[in-house]
Amino acid sequence: MSLIVVGTMAFDDIETPFGKSDRIIGGSATYVAYAASNFIQPIQQVSIVGNDFPAEEMDSLKKRGVQLEGVEVVPDKKSFFWSGRYHMDMNTRDTLVTDLNVLADFNPVIPESYQQAEFLMLGNLMPKLQKAVIEQMKKRPKLIVLDTMNFWMETAMDDLKEVLTMVDVLLINDSEARQLSNEFSLVKAANKILAMGPRYLIIKKGEHGALLFHENSVFFAPALPLEEVFDPTGAGDTFAGGFIGHIAKTKDVSFENMKTAIIVGSAMASFCVEKFGAQRLKEISKEDIEARLDAFVQLVNFDIDLVA
Ligand code: AMP
């Protein structure tokens, strides 16, 4: 029983209205692995880094049950670098720099030892690489989840549409759902996107929670109202890690269980935003996660007496 996580391992420069951080560790696969490892181990990581990626970061992932055989280390190049600046609402951001570096010639190879994985999380990455990974799996995993972003919609829409036909769950935010579907209504957008391939669609709405669409059903998970939101970077990937971590732990791919999984995803994302980068994810314990899940239950738990 294991989970393959594919995506970037990166350096990020982040600017929020509350502060600035230079070159901290980020990347879609890093956040997914930190979140998912609370629920399932081993995690079989597939990524690429340059000679600048710190050994202590690799060790810290290994200690959490993250296998790194599928992480290529390129000796004479730099790791992927991304920099972004958040607006005052913290829900929107501008990408300032995307330096592909090692990612420019990445050819992900799935090691033989990963071939038995039952779950595949395709974190944000070039769509054609996400497709190449699916094609290497000798046995189709039980559930394939795909995360992507506006950057790939702008630069690789055809590849993205192709990979959408091969996955079970798509995770995007509301503006990306609108961009992908050309629809303003999220219900219309969801119908169009579900017709593109995935059977399940999760639309993340930042501090306004997340929606799970499947056939004609929709389920809503709130985001926990937090006193401090310090840095939203990685919240989407952390949500994805909590979601797939819960599914992989329970091995249940039903719609009912996906409802629980998006609550778990929301709980994990609520930790991520409390500090810069993945810092908070490195600190939290099982007890912290349980208490946070309980706060979610309290948030939406109410009795209602319907007058006949
Ligand atoms: P999120 O805030 O969940 O969208 O994730 C932010 C993380 O994604 C950062 O740590 C970046 O290193 C990484 N990232 C940013 N742009 C890309 C991209 N185009 N492809 C893959 N990963 C990216």
Residue 194 Cα, ligand 1 centroid: separation in angstroms? 24
Atom number in ligand 1 closest to CA 232? 2
Nearest protein Cα to ligand 1, atom 5: 234
Residue 18 domain-assigned (yes or no): yes
Residue 118 domain-assigned (yes or no): yes
Is the Cβ–Cβ distance between 170 and 164 less than 8 Å? yes
What is the predicted pLDDT for the residue at 234?
Answer: 95
pLDDT per position as a tens digit, 286-306:
999 999 999 999 998 888 888
Residue 306 domain-assigned (yes or no): no
Amino acid of residue 167? V
Residue 202 domain-assigned (yes or no): yes
What is the predicted pLDDT for the residue at 274?
Answer: 92
Atom number in ligand 1 closest to CA 240? 3
Ligand 1 pocket, mutate which of 34, 82, 91, 95 (most atoms under 8 A from CB): 82
What is the predicted pLDDT for the residue at 306?
Answer: 80
Domain assignment of residue 9, given as a range: 3-299
Residue 91 domain-assigned (yes or no): yes
pLDDT per position as a tens digit, 154-195:
999 999 999 999 999 999 999 999 999 999 999 999 999 999
Nearest protein Cα to ligand 1, atom 12: 27
Nearest protein Cα to ligand 1, atom 6: 234
- Residues near ligand 1 with C-beta < 6 Å? 8, 10, 12, 26-28, 82, 98, 124-125, 149, 151, 233-237
Name the pLDDT band for 308 (thresholds 50, 70, 90). low
Is the Cβ–Cβ distance between 237 and 6 less than 8 Å? no
Residue 304 domain-assigned (yes or no): no
Is the Cβ–Cβ distance between 109 and 136 less than 8 Å? yes
Residue 236 Cα, ligand 1 centroid: separation in angstroms? 9
Residue 305 domain-assigned (yes or no): no
Q: What is the pTM of this model?
A: 0.95
Whichever domain contains 94, its CATH number is 3.40.1190.20
Residue 248 domain-assigned (yes or no): yes
Atom number in ligand 1 closest to CA 151? 19
Share of the chain above pLDDT 90, in %: 89
What is the total count of domains within the chain?
Answer: 1
Nearest protein Cα to ligand 1, atom 19: 151
Asked if the model's pLDDT at residue 204 lies above 80, the reply is yes
Nearest protein Cα to ligand 1, atom 16: 82
Q: What is the mean pLDDT of residues 224-250?
A: 94
* Secondary structure in 3-state letters for 99-163: ECHHHHHCCCCCCHHHCCCCEEEECCCCHHHHHHHHHHCCCCCCEEEEECCHHHHHHCHHHHHHH
pLDDT per position as a tens digit, 63-105:
999 999 999 999 999 999 999 999 988 878 899 999 999 999 8
Average predicted confidence (pLDDT) for the chain: 95
